[in-house]
Amino acid sequence: MTIDSSIFIEYGPRLLMGFWLTIKIVIAAIILGMPWGLVLALGRRSRFLIPRLAATSFVELFRNTPFIIQVFLFYYVLPFYGVRFPAEYVGTLALAAFGSAYFSEIIRGGIDAVSKGQLESARAIGMSDWQAMKNIVLPQTLSIILPPLTNQTLSLIKESAILSTITVHELTMSGIRVQGEIFRPFEVFIMVALLYWGLNETIAILMRKLERRSKKGRTTAQSNTGTLEKVDIVR
């Protein structure tokens, strides 16, 4: 089998348009999903039954059902209730909801991993809750949750390919349409795979650098915490 290199030049721009839409959808899903996940994480930690039950039900539903089924529910069921959006918006909302369930568990795990005694020690030497959170808790939480956040971000990029099933013209759909015109699946999907790989690899490299920086902050915060705890013991 010979590879027709002219396909890369002729149809590359069309794939790049779908690639750009994939990037925009994933960014929007993260922007929506992260705060959503934070609310869910706080809801699951709530002392009150109703918010805890609601948050837990949402997380378990979206974690334990296939993403493609969730996409179909958003795309085909919402119009029955008079809610109609373009496929790109519906796909972004579905991806954000799916991601928020996983972001929620990541954030909740990061908060739980930081000792409660650290916050109490900070208060004991006169720090406000915000100062203790900013200087002691958050630097440690960030370094704890960065690796799973990276994995979940990469997962969202790959899951975004499922949006092609509802006619969202992202990267996978662009590849399918080009392949349907020229009947050269090898060249087309090699380009698609390389674009996905390049995006994921770039994000992984950037997040590893950020993780190394956050670990330095965590080390500083832990040393501060050790001092705080010693002061608290002396008192």
CATH number reported for the structural domain that contains residue 106 in this entry: 1.10.3720.10
146 domain residue, yes or no: yes
Range of the domain at 133: 13-234
Q: How many domains are there within the chain? A: 1
Interval 29-41: pLDDT, tens: 999 999 999 899 9
2 domain residue, yes or no: no
168 domain residue, yes or no: yes
Label residue 209 by pLDDT band (50, 70, 90).
confident
143 domain residue, yes or no: yes
How far is residue 83's CA from residue 188's CA, in Å, rounded to a whole number? 36
Length of the chain: 235
H or E element that contains 114: none
3-class DSSP state for residue 110? helix
100 domain residue, yes or no: yes
H or E element that contains 226: helix 185-234
3-class DSSP state for residue 82? coil
Interval 99-126: pLDDT, tens: 999 999 998 888 788 777 777 777 788 7
CA dihedral 178, 184, 185, 186 (to 10 degrees): -130
Place of tokens 């958050």: 138
188 domain residue, yes or no: yes
6 domain residue, yes or no: no
What lies within 8 Å, CB to CB, of 215 at 6+ separation is 143
Residue pair 133/122 in contact (Cβ under 8 Å)? The answer is: no
46 domain residue, yes or no: yes
Tokens of 35: 């705060």
Interval 120-167: pLDDT, tens: 777 788 787 667 767 777 777 777 899 999 999 999 999 999 999 999
